[in-house]
Amino acid sequence: MSYLTAPESIKAVIYQLSSAQTLWLDTEVADYKNKPRLSLIQVLTTPNEIKSDHLYLFDVLDQPELTTLFIENIMANPAIEKVFHNANYDLKFLGKKQSKNVTCTLVMAKKIPYYLLPVPNYQLKTLATQLGDFTNIDKQEQSSDWGQRPLTEKQLEYAQMDVVYLAQIHQCLLKLQPLAAPDPTTEDLNKLATRYQEIAHQWKQLDSEITHIQDRLKQAMKTQHVDQTDSFKLSSSQRKTLKTTFAQLSEFVQTQNLELDFPLTLTQALQKQLGETIQQLPTQEENTTVWRLIPKAKDHNSESEFPPF
């Protein structure tokens, strides 16, 4: 790992990185509560490598010109793929608008269906533990003082591990992606249907029990006036919906000379009410195709499972 503080060295490495293909990046921010400012930019050039020429920590505290150089040469360069976890956050400090070719592992992870990636949450730490062979990941330094200098050994350690975890997570997610988004042309229809039938029954049972329990809990907490248990909180909210009638609205728009126009769906009920006169009304037809999956009835085992009385 190279921890760089001298502006000249940082500049040199930024230029050197300009020809990279993919970079795994993270930032640390000082004073995030009040006046957030960038403290560190961590760069990993090769997954699973923490040698000095693969992992850099740029100390950019109060050196906006270095950050700008980084944004212009790295972030804005569409030829370099930039990988972040929760890119939205880091991009606030690294040229949100100008940035090109950014990958976010948080977004990627959320696109993987739960059954393929059963994690309680999508924090970097959680994903690193689940997807990588990391244990005892220490996140304590996350909320430490990134505005102090010198930074402690622990902080530097933490800062570099973040990009290492990131790259590891990214690699795993790339492997999971084809499973999550398979090519429809090569799907095995029989295999899919079989699997569906295998789990449909269990799913119905679980799903109905879950909603049933939810409803019962809600009802019970409401009537017993319990707003909290160890596991649940009961929340309520008021909602307000403003209503008027079509006639009143139409009249109002006319008399007030308002510019108000929008498409209105003539539902079947409305069409019926309008009757033949609908012919004289300028209308627009919109055709959409709706695709549905209809399970074919397979009666043969319903009787054995649920014999009639």
Question: Residues in the site for DNA, rule: CB under 7 A?
Answer: 26-29, 32-33, 39, 85-86, 88-89, 106, 110, 121-126, 142-143, 146, 162, 214, 218, 233, 235, 237-241, 265, 267-269, 290, 292
- The least distance separating DNA from the CB of residue 58, rounded to whole angstroms, comes to 14
CA distance 39 to 141: 13
- The least distance separating DNA from the CB of residue 294, rounded to whole angstroms, comes to 8
Output 149 or 218, the one with its CB closest to DNA. 218
Output 11 or 103, the one with its CB closest to DNA. 103
Output 22 or 32, the one with its CB closest to DNA. 32
Half-sphere exposure of 218 (CA within 13 A, CB side): 8
The DSSP-derived string for 230-299 is: SS-B------------HHHHHHHHHHHT----------HHHHHHHGGGGGGS-------------PPP--
- The least distance separating DNA from the CB of residue 126, rounded to whole angstroms, comes to 7
What is the DSSP secondary structure assignment for residue 133, as one 8-state letter?
Answer: S
42 strand-pairing partners: 26, 57
Output 189 or 293, the one with its CB closest to DNA. 293
Phi, psi of 199, rounded to the nearest 5 degrees: -105, -10
- The least distance separating DNA from the CB of residue 231, rounded to whole angstroms, comes to 12
- The least distance separating DNA from the CB of residue 13, rounded to whole angstroms, comes to 21
Half-sphere exposure of 244 (CA within 13 A, CB side): 8
CA distance 168 to 47: 7
CA distance 40 to 33: 17
- The least distance separating DNA from the CB of residue 111, rounded to whole angstroms, comes to 9
Could you tell me if 57 and 160 are in contact, meaning their C-beta atoms sit under 8 angstroms apart? yes
Task: Count the Cβ atoms, other than its own, within 10 Å of residue 11.
Answer: 17
